[in-house]
Amino acid sequence: MACASSLDLSNSLSHRTQLFKPSQSRKPNSVSFPTASLNGSAGAQINGSSEFPKINGTHKPTKINGSKPINGSGLINGSSSTHLNGFDGINGDVGLRVAFQGSFGAYSEFAAKTAYPDCITLPRRSFADALAAVECGHADRAVLPVESTMEGTELRNYDLLLRHDLSIVQEINLFVHYCLLAMPGVRQTQLRRVISHPMALAHCGRALAQLGLDREPVEDTAGAVEMLRANRLLDTAAIASPRAASLYGLDVLAQGLQDESWNVTRFLLLSKSPAKKVFKNAKTSMVIAHRGGSMMVVLKVLSAFSSRNINLKKLEVINSSGAGKAPVMILDVRGRGSLRAFPQVLYVDCEGSIEDPVVKEAIEEIERFSVFVRLLGCYTADTNVYDLQ
C-alpha cells in the first residue's frame, strides 16, 4: 500500500481544526429528504431514563432533518437559496442525478443532498460503480469521500479518481454524527451485537467497549440499518446517522458515539464536464507525478507557488516506490486515454483559478521539471461544515 505524508500548510488538512473551524460552519436553509415517520420515540428509554446517554459530552438532538446550523449561524453567504456554490443548471438542480456508494440514508447521500437539495440520488454498491454511472451517462454527478479528520486521506478513493476521466466541480465538508439505532421499542439491555461499516465501528470503539456489544462489520452504515429493519433484528443495533433513523423508522438509543467529537469528512462532487469558470474563492486541484528525488520535487513545487504568492491548501506526498508496493495508476486524459504508472505522486490543492495567469504560470513551471501533471478540477472552495441536525 502507498505511504502518504502531508506538509503542515497554513490551512492544510494535516492540521484539521484549522480547515473545519466551527466558527465557519453553515447549514443549508433546507434540505429535502423523503422521510418515513418514526415508529416510536426517537429517544427510547435506556436504563429507566428518557434522555439520550451523554456519550463524549453530547446531548439529545433537537431535530433529525431540521435546518439548524452547527453554531447557530444564519444563511449561507447571506442568501436564502439552498443551492450551494451557484449551481444553476437548466432547472437548478431539479432532476440532477447524483450517484453515491451505499444505501439510502448513507452519509454520502446526505453530502449529495447538501450540495444539490433537489437532486435525485442513485445508490450504488461501490464507489467505482458510482463513478462508472457518471461515465456511462446514468448519472450527472458522483459523490466521493476523500479525507476525514479522524482517518486522514482515503488513498483508495483518490486512486479511483485518478483512474477516471472526471472533474471535481464541488466540495462538501460534512460533520459525521454517529448514532446507535435499534428496532422500535428495543432497549439497550436487550442488545447483544452492533453492525456497521468497519470505519464507523472503529470510530466508535470506546463507546462500544462501554456498551459491551459484539461488533460485526457490513458494507456501509445505511446498509446496516437496512439489514436491521428488513430482518427485524431485536438483539442487534446499527451505527448510522439520525437521518437513517428517520428514513427507516428506528429508535435512536444513543448519539454522539464517535470517539472524537469533531469528526468531519470531506466529499468531492465529480462530473464529466469541468465546473463553469470560477474566479472568486477558487480552488484548483491537481496531481503531480515524478520519478525519484521526492524532496527536491516537493521543494520545487513549493517554490513555484510561493514565488507567486499562491497559498496551498493541501500538499500530500504519495511514495509507492520500493519492493512489493504497487505504483499509482493515473489516466492520461490528454494523451491516448491510457493508464500510466508512477511510483511517486503529489496531491496539490492551491488557492486561485486555473483562469488566473499567475496560477497558469506556476503549473507551467511545474510541468517543466515533473514527469506528468493532471488537473483534477477548479471549483469554488467551501470551508463551511454542514450538519445533519
Closest CA to 236 of 193, 173, 293: 193
Residue 263, all three cell numbers = 469528526
The CA distance from 163 to 281, in Å, is 28
- Residue 189 bears catalytic tag: no
**Catalytic position from the list 265, 305, 342, 380:** 265
> Are the C-beta atoms of residues 154 and 146 closer than 8 Å to each other?
yes
Q: What angle do CA 8, 150, 225 make, to 5 degrees?
A: 155
**Catalytic position from the list 110, 127, 267, 305:** 267
Residue 364 exposed, middle or buried by CB count within 10 Å (0-12, 13-18, 19+)? exposed
- Residue 369 bears catalytic tag: no
For residue 314, give the H/E element and its range. strand 312-319
Dihedral sign of CA atoms 214, 216, 217, 223 in order = negative
CA dihedral 77, 81, 83, 88 (to 10 degrees): -110
Q: Which residues contact 239 (CB under 8 A, 6 or more apart)?
A: 178, 179, 180, 181, 194, 195, 196, 197, 200, 201, 204, 221, 224, 257
Closest CA to 193 of 259, 238, 226: 238
> Are the C-beta atoms of residues 166 and 272 closer than 8 Å to each other?
yes
> Are the C-beta atoms of residues 353 and 277 closer than 8 Å to each other?
yes
Task: Match 433513523 to its residue by C-alpha cell.
Answer: 245
DSSP for 5-52, written as a single string: EE---TT-TTSHHHHS-GGG----S------PPPSS-TT--BTTBSSP
Please name the residue ranges forming H helices in 272-313: 294-306
Q: Catalogue the active-site residues.
A: 265, 267
